[in-house]
Amino acid sequence: MSLDVPVLLVIYKRPEATRTVFEAIARQRPRRLFIAADGPASPADRDLCAETRASVSRIDWPCDVVHDFSGENLGLNRRMISAIDWIFEQTEAAIVLEDDCLPHGDFFSFCSSMLDRYRGESRVVHVSGECYRVGRTGQDSYFFSKYPLAWGWATWRRAWSLFDPNMTSWPRLRTQPAVQALWDSDDERNYWTSTFNLLHREQSNGHMVSWDYVWYYACMTHGLSIHPAVNLISNLGSGAAASHTHDLGELSNRPSRPLDDPICHPHSIVRDRQADRDTFDQRFPGSVLKQQRSLSHQIRRPARWAMRLIRSLRGSPR
């Protein structure tokens, strides 16, 4: 059986990780496969880029394959945005994977089902393969979240059209009640407000900082995202070859699990606030911020500063 939803795979210079992700895609036998590659940043990268591109060349099933292999190095942000623009010029819905995001087999059927079910529902803008909810209540196979997590995801052309690299609406929206209602704690409000302030400033100055956080902004201010009830994506990208995530810690290689069959749909499109709290704690710095505010952390703060002073004095000239 072949997968009808087009798949976009974005690659660079990690042949082993790319090969692993490509094999997971190949098992689904997509009818349409789009492969976008960034070019080498230096002469030393040429062989790795070439090997990575070769690792996705074997197509042994009926498939319309289209390539967009850049001759120059665009960088992660420009490459991702141009690749997503490219696929949505040719299709109305797609699954998007980077070369370090290993999907469980059920990820593809889940995305396909969600893309079909919510195709015309403007309140839903993104489908994620990640799950960070602690515990599970009820039998629903997925829930709604404000977080459009992007390690393996899917969306529609109508939603991607909301992506604005300059985040021009942020100054007007940041104090609006609808945006303030997104935050479930002071830590969350402070983190995202300061993050979006920084992104808006940098993007307005022509500096592309983080394509995925700009996508977060577009989705969070326009609708809800779908998360599966179990995790369907393992991130393989932690390490020296990663573009940004050199050490993902506990987020690296999280186990994935099969999803319920058949899919059980929620009765209504309502954000799961507790799941969002869990996501902020586990995927973002919620737990760290809580720890920094804890009594024990504050008690130990003078001792930490004393140790820093001692180490600096030991290393200073007499």
* Residue ranges covered by each domain of the chain: 1-99, 103-310
Per-residue DSSP letter, 39:
P
Q: Quick: pLDDT tens for 259-278.
A: 989 999 999 999 999 999 99
**pLDDT of 314 above 90:** no
- Specify the pTM: 0.89
Provide the percentage of residues in the chain whose pLDDT is more than 90: 81
What contacts 110, CB < 8 A, 6 or more positions away? 127, 129, 141, 142, 228, 232, 259, 263
> Strand pairing of 7-11 and 32-37?
parallel
- Cβ-count burial 38-64 (b if 16+ within 10 Å, e if not): bbbbeeebeeebeebbebbeeeeeeee
Segment 108-125 mean pLDDT: 98
**pLDDT of 61 above 80:** yes
Omega before 262 within 30 of 0, i.e. cis: yes
Rounded to the nearest 5 degrees, what angle is found at the Cα of 245, between the Cα atoms of 202 and 11? 90
Structure tokens at 96: 């998007």
How many H helices and E strands in the chain? Answer: 12, 10
Q: What is the mean pLDDT of the chain?
A: 91
**pLDDT of 66 above 80:** yes
What pLDDT is attached to residue 241?
A: 47
DSSP-H helix ranges across the chain: 15-26, 46-54, 75-88, 105-117, 157-160, 170-173, 177-180, 186-204, 211-220, 273-282, 286-293, 295-315
What pLDDT is attached to residue 278?
A: 97
Segment 11-28 mean pLDDT: 98
Helix (H) or strand (E) holding 128: strand 124-128
Question: In the CATH scheme, what is the homologous superfamily, with its name and number, of domain 1-99?
Answer: Spore Coat Polysaccharide Biosynthesis Protein SpsA; Chain A (3.90.550.10)
Q: Quick: pLDDT tens for 167-221.
A: 999 999 999 999 999 999 999 999 999 999 999 999 888 888 899 999 999 999 9
Per-residue confidence band for 291, with pLDDT thresholds at 50, 70 and 90? confident
